[in-house]
Amino acid sequence: YGIQSAAQAYFGVDAKDLTAAQGAYLASLLNAPSQYDVVAHPENKPAAQSRWNYVMNGMVDKGWLSA
């Protein structure tokens, strides 16, 4: 478990090579993995996109990313 395992499982890359968007998706899974996982549950795409937007906006609000 952990970010390295998740990066490999979801995107086939090392954690250090994740894009901000990929990292935000993995971060969004922490809140409710089964609700936001679109790989195992494609029907969750609308909820996952909403949560991803929330995480990305939070990163911008904190100054970690620029808009």
**pLDDT 10s digits, 9-36:** 999 999 999 999 999 999 999 989 889 9
Is the predicted pLDDT of residue 4 greater than 80, yes or no? yes
Distance in angstroms (rounded) separating the CA atoms of residues 24 and 51: 9
- Average per-residue pLDDT in the chain? 94
Q: Which residue has the higher pLDDT, 4 or 66?
A: 4
Task: Find the DSSP H helices in the chain.
Answer: 3-11, 20-31, 33-36, 45-61
At residue 20, the pLDDT reads 95
Q: 7 with 22: CB under 8 angstroms?
A: yes
Which residues are CB-contacts of 22 (< 8 A; sequence separation ≥ 6)? 7, 10, 11, 13
Distance in angstroms (rounded) separating the CA atoms of residues 28 and 38: 11
At residue 31, the pLDDT reads 85
